[in-house]
Structure 1
Amino acid sequence: MAPLAIRAYTATTALGHGRDAQAEALRAGRSGLRRNDFGEGAAADARLETWIGRVDGIEDVALPADLAHLDCRNNRLAWLALQQDGILDGLAALRARHGADRIAIVLGTSTSSIGASEEAYTRLERDDAGAPVFPADLRRPLLHTPHSLGHFVQRATGLRGPCVTVATACSSSAKVFAQAARLIAAGVVDAALVGGVDTLCGSVLFGFNALGLVSQHPCLPFDARRDGLSLGEAGGYALLERLDDIDDPAPRFCGYGESSDAHHMSTPHPEGLGARMAMAEAIARAGIAPDDVGYLNLHGTATPANDTVEALAVRGLFGNDLHASSTKGWVGHTLGAAGIVESVFALLALERGFLPGMLGNDASGAPQRDPACGPQIRFDAAQREIRHAMNNSFGFGGNNASLVFARGAQGPR
C-alpha cells in the first residue's frame, strides 16, 4: 500500500492524558492498574474483586453546551482525548488543505455508550399508559447504538466526510486504520481521523467475568502464572493523510493485515492461523520482511489461551531478534480502544527508541516464563532505534488485525 503520513497521534489511558504521560509511565515501569473502584451506590456493593485501568478525570469533564445532550461516560472520554497532543490543531490544518468534506472519521469501539443504556434501564419510568420508558434525559435513541461514538466525534469536530464506527470487539480501533487507508486509496477522501474509545461499565466487567476471563490480580501477560485479564478504558486518535513527499519526516502507517478465522466465538484458533495470517499480510503490504520489524506490541491479554496462541504465531513468523511485548500490564485490556492505544505505544517506540518489556510480575520482579513463548517475547525493556514497529489486535470471533508503522524520512523527531 502507499504509506500514509501520521500528522498527530494521542492516547488517554489509566497512565494519564496524552502521549507524554504514556511514554513516561512505560519508561518508569509504573502501572496504571488499581483495585476495582468502579461504580457507585448499589453497583459499588457488587464490585468484582479485580484490578482495572480507570482513567482519572472523566467524571469532571463538562461537554460544550452544544454537545451536552450527548453526555455519557464514553463521549466524555472521547472529548477529553480529543484535547490532547494537538489533535484539534492538526485537524484544523487538514481542513485548511482539503476541506471538511474530504476528511473521514473512522472510529472503533466495543461497547460504545452502553453504560448510558445501563443507567437508563436502572432508572426506568412509566408513561401515561403505564408502559416502561427511559428517563427523559436518556431518551435519545442514537446514544444507545454503537454509532454513538462516531456521531459524537462528527458533531464535535464539524467534519463532513464519511463517518464510520467499527465494532469488531477488541480489534475495532486497529481495523479503523485499514478502513481509512482504503477510503484514501479509493480517492473518496484525502485524510482521516482514526481512533477509538471504550469505557468501563457493568456489562464489560460482569460480562467478561461471566466468561471466566477476569483475573483477581493485576494481569500477567505471557507469564506461566497468568489467569486472566485486567479490564481498562481508554481513548485515542491519529490523523492520517495522503503522503505526497517521500522526504516527509512524519511517521508513517504503511501496512495492515486482517483475517477472520472464525474458529470460535471467544477462543482463538489453537495454532494461531488467523493471527499469523494477519501479521504476514501486514508485513507483505508494507513491503518489508519480518526481520525488518524492530518492535511488536502484542495483543497479550494474559488469558491462558490467547497468549499461548499468539506466542506460537509470533515464533512461527519472526526471527529471534524481534522485541515483542504486551503493555496491558500498564493500562489493562481496553477492548475496542486497544488498537489505537497500542498503536500509539508502537509509534512511541519508533519516536523515542524505548521498547517496553512487561509488567505484572511478583514482588521480586522475576517473571515465570511460559515454555510456549519463544525468544521474541521480552519481559525486559530495551533502548534502541528501530525503523518499523507493529501492533496486534485480536477480537472475539476471530477478528484479527495487525498494523505496521515506520519512521519518517528523517527518523525520530
Structure 2
Amino acid sequence: MRDPREPGGPPEIAVTGIGLVTPAGIGAAASWEGVCRGRSAAARDPRLADLPVDIACAVPGFSPAEHVGRRSALMHDRHVQLAIPAAREAVADAALDPATWDGARVGVVIGNGSGGYSSATRQHERLLAEGPRAVSALVIPLIVPNMVAGHLAMEFGATGPNLVTATACASGATAIGTAMRLLQRGDCDVVLTGGTEAPVTPLLVAGFAQMGALSRRVADPAAASRPFDAARDGFVIGEGSAVLVLERAADARARGARTRARLAGYGASADAHHMTAPDPEGTQVSRTVRAALAEAGAEPADVAHVNAHGTSTPLNDAVEARVVRGLFGGDAAVTSAKGVVGHTLGAAGAIEAVLTVLAIERGTVPPTANHDRPDPDLGIDVVAGAPRRRAIEVAVSHSFGFGGQNAVLVFTGA
C-alpha cells in the first residue's frame, strides 16, 4: 500500500464524528454492541398488519418527542426523525460547536431512497376519508426527500452545499462519496453526511413482497435475514440512520480533533443491466472496487475486511461473493450487518460505513447473524457466530441499488 499523501494530490479525508440510530440500538455504542451480539432485530411489526410479509427490523424504543423534540411529530417524517439524533451524536462526537463554526463552510449530504412514505400514507388516508381540507398544510415538506438535508441545515446552521442523494440502496454510500468530493474540491471544510430511511410502510413492503425480494420466514422472524447462508430467501425491511462528520485531515489535526478513520477512496458505477437484478458477472462492481482502492493507494491484497452489501437475497449475495472471491480470494473477513438490522435501503450504506469505521478502530469484525450453513458455491470467508479480532488497516464497504447503481467506499486506519 502506497502513501496517498503525495504532494499535489487530493487531501486526506478524516472521519471525526459518527452517529447511529438503528434496529440494533440508539447511538453508536448501542448499535455496535447489538451488531456484535449477532442476533437479528426482526419481529412482527404492527405497521404491517394483514400483509403477507409482516416482519421488519424497527428501531427499539425510539420516541420522536424524547429523541428529537416535542414538536417533531408535526414537522418531521420518521426518516427525518431518525436522522436528527444521529447527526447530533456525530457532531458532538467530532467535538464541533455549531454555535462557533462558519456555517457557510459546512455542507450536508444525506442519502435517502424513498422520502416520507409514512407521512404520504397517512395524508392520503385522510384525503380519502375526510376530504382535502383534512390534509396537512405541511404535507409537501413532510414527504419530499430533500427535506432531511434541509432540516439538518436548520438544526446546525449549516449554510453550505445541501443535498440529498437518491441511488436506491446505495444512497448512503453515494452521499458519503459526494461529501468526500466536496471536501477535496475545497467547497466545504466540514460535511455532515450519511443516510436515513423509514420504509416500514404497507405500500413499500407490499411492493417488495410482490417482487419476491422479501424473506417469507414470517413464522420465525429472527431467522429470516441470513446473508450468504445457503438457506437465504430474501431480505427483511429495516429502518435507521447514520451520520458521519468528514473533514480534511489537516484541518482536523489543526484543531486537535480525533480522527477515527480515513475515508481514502470512493468509486461509483452503473451496471446498465436490469431494473432490479445485478449483472451476474459483477463486472462493473469489480471495476468500481478497483477504482476506489486505487484512489486509496491500496491493492486488493491490502484489504483485511469487506463490509458487504449482503442483502440475504439469493442473487445479490451470489454476485457479490463472486466479486469478493475474484478480488480478494479468501483473505478478506466478510460481514453483513443486514443479518441484525435488516435492509435499511437508502440508509444501509451509511450504517455500514460507520460500522466499518468502528471495525477498523476496534480491530474487530462483527458476525453475520443467521449465517448457519455457508453456501458452498460462494467461497468467501464470512464471519459468523461471534466477532472476530483482526487488525484492519484497509477495509471496503459495498453498496448496490436498484437500477444497477454501485457505490464503494474504502476506509483506512487513522
Q: Shared fold (TM-score greater than 0.5)? A: yes
Aligned residue among 298, 308, 311 for 1:288: 298
* Aligned pairs for 1:93-172 within 5 A: 93=97, 96=100, 99-124=102-127, 133=132, 135-137=134-136, 139-172=138-171
Separation in structure 2 between the aligned mates of residue 388 and residue 264 of structure 1, nearest angstrom: 31
SS of 1:393's equivalent in the other structure is strand
Task: Tell me, yes or no, if the aligned pair for 1:59 and 1:73 is still in contact at 8 Å.
Answer: no
Separation in structure 1 between the aligned mates of residue 53 and residue 117 of structure 2, nearest angstrom: 22
Separation in structure 1 between the aligned mates of residue 388 and residue 327 of structure 2, nearest angstrom: 21
Task: Tell me, yes or no, if the aligned pair for 2:53 and 2:205 is still in contact at 8 Å.
Answer: no
Separation in structure 2 between the aligned mates of residue 51 and residue 338 of structure 1, nearest angstrom: 18
Give the residue type in structure 1 aligned to 2:178: Q
Aligned twin of 2:184:
185
Per the TM alignment, residue 92 of structure 1 is displaced from its structure 2 partner at its CA by 3.7
Q: 1:95 to 1:399 in 2, by over 3 A?
A: farther
Stretches of structure 1 lacking an aligned partner (at least 5 in a row): 362-366, 409-413
Q: 1:246 to 1:387 in 2, by over 3 A?
A: farther
* Aligned pairs for 1:231-310 within 5 A: 231-244=237-250, 250=259, 251-310=261-320
TM-score between both structures, scaled by the size of structure 1:
0.88
Aligned twin of 1:337:
347
Per the TM alignment, residue 134 of structure 1 is displaced from its structure 2 partner at its CA by 6.4
Indicate the larger mover: 182-191 or 322-331: 182-191
1:316 aligns with 2:350: no
Per the TM alignment, residue 348 of structure 1 is displaced from its structure 2 partner at its CA by 1.2
Cα deviation, 1:32-90, whole Å, max 9, x if unaligned, reads: 222x2131xxx63x234353210123344354467664222222212232343x52463
Task: Tell me, yes or no, if the aligned pair for 1:121 and 1:134 is still in contact at 8 Å.
Answer: no
SS of 1:311's equivalent in the other structure is helix
Per the TM alignment, residue 2 of structure 1 is displaced from its structure 2 partner at its CA by 2.9
Identity value in percent? 35
Task: Tell me, yes or no, if the aligned pair for 1:299 and 1:394 is still in contact at 8 Å.
Answer: yes
Aligned twin of 1:30:
39
Per the TM alignment, residue 340 of structure 1 is displaced from its structure 2 partner at its CA by 0.7
Aligned residue among 7, 14, 26 for 1:5: 14
Aligned residue among 379, 383, 389 for 1:383: 389
Separation in structure 2 between the aligned mates of residue 382 and residue 126 of structure 1, nearest angstrom: 54
Task: Tell me, yes or no, if the aligned pair for 1:12 and 1:235 is still in contact at 8 Å.
Answer: yes
Per the TM alignment, residue 171 of structure 1 is displaced from its structure 2 partner at its CA by 0.2
Aligned twin of 2:3:
none
Per the TM alignment, residue 392 of structure 1 is displaced from its structure 2 partner at its CA by 0.5
Give the residue type in structure 1 aligned to 2:209: N
Give the residue type in structure 2 aligned to 1:52: A
Separation in structure 2 between the aligned mates of residue 219 and residue 126 of structure 1, nearest angstrom: 37
TM-score between both structures, scaled by the size of structure 2:
0.88
1:396 aligns with 2:402: yes
Task: Tell me, yes or no, if the aligned pair for 1:220 and 1:360 is still in contact at 8 Å.
Answer: yes
Per the TM alignment, residue 384 of structure 1 is displaced from its structure 2 partner at its CA by 1.8
Separation in structure 2 between the aligned mates of residue 311 and residue 90 of structure 1, nearest angstrom: 35
1:205 aligns with 2:213: no
SS of 1:205's equivalent in the other structure is helix
1:71 aligns with 2:76: yes
1:370 aligns with 2:370: no
Per the TM alignment, residue 111 of structure 1 is displaced from its structure 2 partner at its CA by 1.1
Aligned twin of 1:220:
226
Q: 1:270 to 1:238 in 2, by over 3 A?
A: same
Task: Tell me, yes or no, if the aligned pair for 1:13 and 1:233 is still in contact at 8 Å.
Answer: yes
* Aligned pairs for 1:51-70 within 5 A: 51-61=55-65, 63-64=68-69, 69-70=74-75
Separation in structure 2 between the aligned mates of residue 134 and residue 340 of structure 1, nearest angstrom: 38
